[in-house]
Amino acid sequence: MLSTPSPERTTTVRLPFTDTPLPGVDPAWSTTVSVPTTAVVEPVPGRKRRWHVLDNGDAITEAGRSPRGIILAVHGNPTWSYLWRDVVRAGQTAEQPWRVVAVDQLDMGFSERTGLFRRLEDRVRDLGDLTHALGIDDAGLPVVTLAHDWGGLISQGWAQEHPQLHAATIMTNTAVHHDNAEPIPSALRLALNRAVHEPLTSGTTAFLDTTLALCDPAPAKDLKKAYKAPYTSRERREGIAHFVADIPAEPGHPSNAAYERIAGRMSAREVPTLLLWGTNDPVFQQRYLEDLMRRAPHADVHRFEGAKHLLPEARDIAPAILTWLGERFGQDEPVVQAHRERRARGRGDFVPFFAELDARRRDASPAVVDMGPVMGTVDGSAPALNVERTVTWAQLSTSVDQLAVALLRTGVRPGDRVNLMVPPGSMLTTLIYSCLRMGAVIVVADQGLGRKGLTRALRGSSPDWFIGIRKALMGARALGWPGRRISADRLDPVSKKLLGVEHTVAELMDSVTTVRPEDIPAVDPDAAAAVLFTSGSTGPAKGVVYTHRQMAGMRDTIRDTYGLRAGTGLVAGFAPFALLGPALGAASVTPDMDVTSPKTLTAQALTEATMAIGATAVFASPAAIANVLATADELSPAERDALARVDLMLSAGAPIPEELLARLQELMPAAELHTPYGMTEALPLTDVSLDVIRAAREDAQSGVEGAGRGVCVGTPVEGAQLGVLPLRADGSVSPDIVTTPGVTGEIVARAPHAKDHYDRLWITERASDLTPGWHRTGDVGHFDARERLWYEGRLAHVITMSDGPVSSVAAEHAAQTVPGVGRVAVVGVGPRGSQSPVAVIETVPPATKPHVAPADLAERVRATIDFATGLAVSAVLVIPEQPTDIRHNSKIDRAELSDWAEQALATGKMSAL
């Protein structure tokens, strides 16, 4: 969500007291006011001090409008009110205006240089003096504090002194407390060092320069000059030096008492709170966000991935602030209410996700079978849970209860987040169901995200506990992943110490010999149960929060849609389905494969897993299926017979071509082949079989209204409702939900098993719930006359041409029918509204380097796409391999391709992706 500079933001003005241009500032906002002071530091009580503020109040009044409330915006060090210029403008122009008073603290910005060392207590009093002088205290309007950096502590001090006025808190990258058990951030330690303190803070502009460097993207030169305009001399930078020196880095500091008092009182008043956070801030790090969330557990939180310290400059946060205020102080219905109503719509009485384990406590039949090397041990010699490679239902139920009690006794509490980094199998199954049974929230971040993606996901979700195998613990140690550590492997004392491990699962299991029903608390159906991360194929992976009720809804939907019942043998070749087996009462097995790379599943591994439990159902991703078919020649007649007894095959994760399904049908002749459509936020939403796909293709050829132009994904599953928000010419969508045949738009859905919310992504969550009670999927598609849904791609990938928006999936599928062509992505290049479609293809055999397609191949691709869809492709480029997400190995990164193709066509240079 990078801010796009508006014309107003780039307008250049000068204020009377500076020659430096100040882009984005309306001179009418600039106000100076003489304020009597009550600060302790002042030698003469009541002495007047000159303040400078940016205040849009007069402009709102002159327009004949009345503000809904007042935003008191408080900067930190070494910024000034200029930081809030976008919020000042947004407050003035909003449909429901807000008066924004952005202050320059004394000795900062263009306010008076007092020559005094103002400490925290003084600054809190200063702010109170100012609001009294400006009439804010008597305006009769709610006051919302908005703060950044050390403005957070000061604004909270003011709020606690004005409880009758203070109505809400908004904070960006700040802190109200520091745990002295950890050192303060290194940048602040350096600035506090006596040897360099004065040269860094006031003697030079080094502290200013460093702060401005903590902005991604970097501010333009004119913006940097504007930020530095008030600080042109050593004397004018003295306040910066004092601000740094007043950081209470140790208990004996003069400001420590005020600091502790303000921090301690923050939890006492529960006012609406919004926390907006740049995740890559080296100063106010994740630990400070977590501290704020503990003090305000009701807060709405949005983490801006990649943003650094100077968040209000790097991201356009003004719209989010005004939207949030509109929901809490205006006529807008809070989105949270919409999805509370949605999640409450169940399909019957709540039955816990783990209920099948209770029902089968005496069942000696297999529940989970481990394939390949036994996981959860140091050397593979002894399973950590004292179970065999085949775990019965009775054993699984006992182990789950024992481990649940052991975790509780260790200090894991209901609501604690527990990251599990253990390969699928009996160990992971036991851990998942133990956590769910005792009310802990499982955090599942796919290792396929890679180190960078995993680190981002884990730091963002902040698990309290980390349970992993040795390799994962080594990664946690090296990369600083959060959470108190428990090893799934047996470890010797030295290894435990080196890896920071407090317990091993084996030790925990051994510590519990009996379990009483009262030892394990009952779960709250509407409490969080899991944070599941998306694939990261359309941006940084997002945490999706499910409640226990929604997890049960997912189980029920899968069971009722596919007729899966207790006793079914299930092969989980797609990792997300590994956790569903025990909930369904199905014996489950994960094939011997690298679950982080689905395309490593071979026909041999699939067959061995199928034979291990006499499986009749198989779940796998398209990439896994492709490799199974590629290696099927290696199977013996007996192994082929085992696959011939499978009666249900599900492929999920990405659309799968009909041709691939037809080949799979030959390998599994008795199986019904289904490809459910869904996403991490709601899985599944629709279902379609191979027979329906074939019928839909015939309907498209015979002209049935709406049939064609994409991938037929079938009809809604039990309990789900679907619709589309029609596309407008500019690629945006209209607000009205329709199911009219042939109308393309963003797919919206609601179901008992749809997500509760995105984790700590308030802006993303609100965007997905803009249609109250419905989840906006970000996919585009349409219905046909037989009420089947056709998937056409991602909304973000729609090509906005001069004659209207075009989705790409139909063109891509057409191009893939050209002999010698592999996977295809059709992307838009050029400015939105006048983009040109470009086909980027793989060839068979694959090319060795990127190049422009030969004329004959390009013409065949163009002609095929034109005939099938009417789309005129402007260029055809060849690459060795499409960039894909690493979880599914099948979702093409079209955003990356679009950027690459645009640069390649503009420069004529075909660089490697």
Three-class DSSP labels, 675-734: CCEEECCEEEEEECEHHHHHHHHHHHHHCCCCCCCCEEEEEECCCCEEEEEEECCCCCEC
Instruction: Of 383-397, 740-754, 809-823, 865-879, give the lowest mean pLDDT range.
Output: 383-397
Cα–Cα distance for residue pair 23/19, rounded to 1 Å: 12
Domain count, the chain: 5
Cα–Cα distance for residue pair 458/591, rounded to 1 Å: 27
Give the position of tokens 């009345």. Answer: 66
pLDDT given at position 361 = 93
Tell me the average pLDDT of the chain: 90
- pLDDT one-digit tens code per residue, 250-270: 888 899 999 999 999 987 778
Is the predicted pLDDT of residue 338 greater than 70, yes or no? no
- pLDDT one-digit tens code per residue, 392-443: 999 999 999 999 999 999 999 999 999 999 988 899 999 999 999 999 999 9
Q: Residue 386: which region, alpha, beta or left (left: phi > 0; alpha: psi -120 to 50)?
A: left
693 within some domain? yes
Angle between helix axes 151-161 and 256-266 (nearest 10 degrees) is 70
358 within some domain? yes
pLDDT given at position 72 = 98
Instruction: Of 29-33, 335-339, 613-617, 749-753, give the lowest mean pLDDT range.
Output: 335-339
Cα–Cα distance for residue pair 574/618, rounded to 1 Å: 9
- pLDDT one-digit tens code per residue, 310-321: 999 999 999 999
pLDDT given at position 16 = 74
Task: Give start and end residues of each alpha helix (H) in 805-854.
Answer: 809-815
- The phi and psi torsions of 781 (rounded to 5 degrees) equal -175, -175
* Local confidence band at 376 (pLDDT 50, 70, 90 cut-offs): very low
- 487 beta partners: 468, 504
322 and 280 co-located in one domain? yes
636 and 707 co-located in one domain? no
Strands 543-547 and 672-674: unpaired
788 and 816 co-located in one domain? no
* Local confidence band at 14 (pLDDT 50, 70, 90 cut-offs): low
| Host domain of residue 307 | 7-329
Cα–Cα distance for residue pair 408/402, rounded to 1 Å: 10
305 class by beta-carbon count within 10 Å (0-12 exposed, 13-18 middle, 19+ buried): middle
58 and 147 co-located in one domain? yes
537 within some domain? no
65 and 108 co-located in one domain? yes
Instruction: Of 109-118, 384-393, 640-649, 683-692, give the lowest mean pLDDT range.
Output: 384-393
Instruction: Of 646-650, 674-678, 693-697, 880-884, give the lowest mean pLDDT range.
Output: 880-884
Query: Domain holding 425: CATH number?
Result: 3.40.50.12780
> Do 395 and 362 touch, CB atoms closer than 8 A?
no
657 and 697 co-located in one domain? no
> Do 303 and 462 touch, CB atoms closer than 8 A?
no
Q: Which of 488, 522, 556 is the last residue of a domain?
A: 522
pLDDT given at position 645 = 94
Element containing residue 404 per DSSP (H, E): helix 393-410
Query: Domain holding 172: CATH number?
Result: 3.40.50.1820
624 and 571 co-located in one domain? yes
Q: Which of 659, 675, 691 is the last residue of a domain?
A: 675
Q: Which of 496, 522, 548 is the last residue of a domain?
A: 522
pLDDT given at position 13 = 58
534 within some domain? no
147 within some domain? yes
834 class by beta-carbon count within 10 Å (0-12 exposed, 13-18 middle, 19+ buried): exposed
Is the predicted pLDDT of residue 889 greater than 80, yes or no? no
pLDDT given at position 373 = 57
The residue-averaged pLDDT of 447-463 equals: 89
Query: Domain holding 834: CATH number?
Result: 3.30.300.30
Name the residue with higher pLDDT: 509 or 375. Answer: 509
User: What percent of the chain has pLDDT above 70?
Assistant: 93
Cα–Cα distance for residue pair 876/112, rounded to 1 Å: 63
Instruction: Of 192-196, 235-239, 462-466, 556-560, give the lowest mean pLDDT range.
Output: 192-196
Instruction: Of 89-103, 350-364, 446-460, 538-552, give the lowest mean pLDDT range.
Output: 446-460
pLDDT given at position 192 = 79
369 within some domain? yes
Is the predicted pLDDT of residue 610 greater than 90, yes or no? yes
660 and 689 co-located in one domain? no
pLDDT given at position 343 = 44
808 and 899 co-located in one domain? yes
Of the candidates 282, 82, 114, 286, the residue with the CA atom closest to the CA atom of residue 191: 282
741 and 864 co-located in one domain? no
817 within some domain? yes
pTM, whole model, 2 decimals? 0.88
864 and 878 co-located in one domain? yes
1 within some domain? no
The residue-averaged pLDDT of 350-373 equals: 90
Tell me how crowded residue 498 is: count the other CB atoms within 10 A of its CB: 13
DSSP, res 100: E
Query: Domain holding 571: CATH number?
Result: 3.40.50.980
Give the position of tokens 């190049």. Answer: 851
Cα–Cα distance for residue pair 666/653, rounded to 1 Å: 22
The residue-averaged pLDDT of 274-281 equals: 96
736 and 830 co-located in one domain? no
Q: How far apart are the first and last CA of the chain?
A: 24
- pLDDT one-digit tens code per residue, 25-73: 999 999 999 999 999 999 998 999 999 999 999 999 999 999 999 999 9
Is the predicted pLDDT of residue 11 greater than 60, yes or no? no
